A and B are shown apart, each in its own frame.
Chain A
Amino acid sequence: GAVVSQHPSWVICKSGTSVKIECRSLDFQATTMFWYRQFPKQSLMLMATSNEGSKATYEQGVEKDKFLINHASLTLSTLTVTSAHPEDSSFYICSAIGAGGAQETQYFGPGTRLLVL
């Protein structure tokens, strides 16, 4: 199946700093990428939908100025957590679907664990 990678796999940062997470589709072109957040022992919650070359669509309650998403190419989307605070500590997971029509499987990356001190 298709492979989606994320970098870094984990990051620890101080409160107030910004953190960038990369999501790459390694062997296919991703027209759409999704960003999810998962707290311990909870389900995945959609944060935003990212289409290549256009602005991301954020879910209700997700601050677009705090979680900056850039989908600059068909293989790369980035999520930047600006001015991170301890409550932003979570597991961030991206997923991607390929080009070529509606019936495409959504593949997930391995996730990035963020700890804000």
Chain B
Amino acid sequence: GENVEQHPSTLSVQEGDSAVIKCTYSDSASNYFPWYKQELGKGPQLIIDIRSNVGEKKDQRIAVTLNKTAKHFSLHITETQPEDSAVYFCAASKNSGYALNFGKGTSLLVTP
């Protein structure tokens, strides 16, 4: 089955700096890669997603890149703010209609 690895497990940055979280996946059939933000005690919230026919996608301060050949994708957050502090999960699936295989999560702390 699909195996999603996520790094780092924790990340601390200063406000205004950029944060990068990286994930790799094992199943070459995977073609849908969403990123979720989870705040303490809440459900995951989709922040951005990318499909395999696209190499990069950007939404304001958030961007995701995908390298299908290398089977890795990354989340980039620029101009970080304290409210960006949360746990971020990457995921992969063969199709957006299928269950997601999650990475282990990255706890991001943005210090003022």
Contact = CB atoms under 8 A, between A and B. Distances in A.
Interface of A: 1, 4, 6, 32, 34, 42-46, 49, 93, 95, 97, 101-111, 113
Interface in B64-81: none
Given A107-B46, A110-B42, A113-B41, A43 B97 contact: no
A32 B102 contact: no
Given A43-B105, A108-B45, A103 B96 contact: yes
Given A34-B99, A106-B96, 13 more contacts: A42-B105, A43-B105, A49-B99, A93-B44, A95-B100, A97-B97, A102-B97, A103-B95, A103-B96, A106-B34, A108-B46, A110-B42, A110-B43
A45 B4 CA distance: 12
A23 to B, nearest CB: 10
A12 B51 CA distance: 40
B89 interface: yes
Interface of B: 34, 36, 41-46, 49, 51, 89, 95-97, 99-105
A86 B100 CA distance: 27
Contact of A43 (B43, B45, B51, B89): B89
A110 B73 CA distance: 26
B103 A43 contact: yes
A1 B43 contact: no
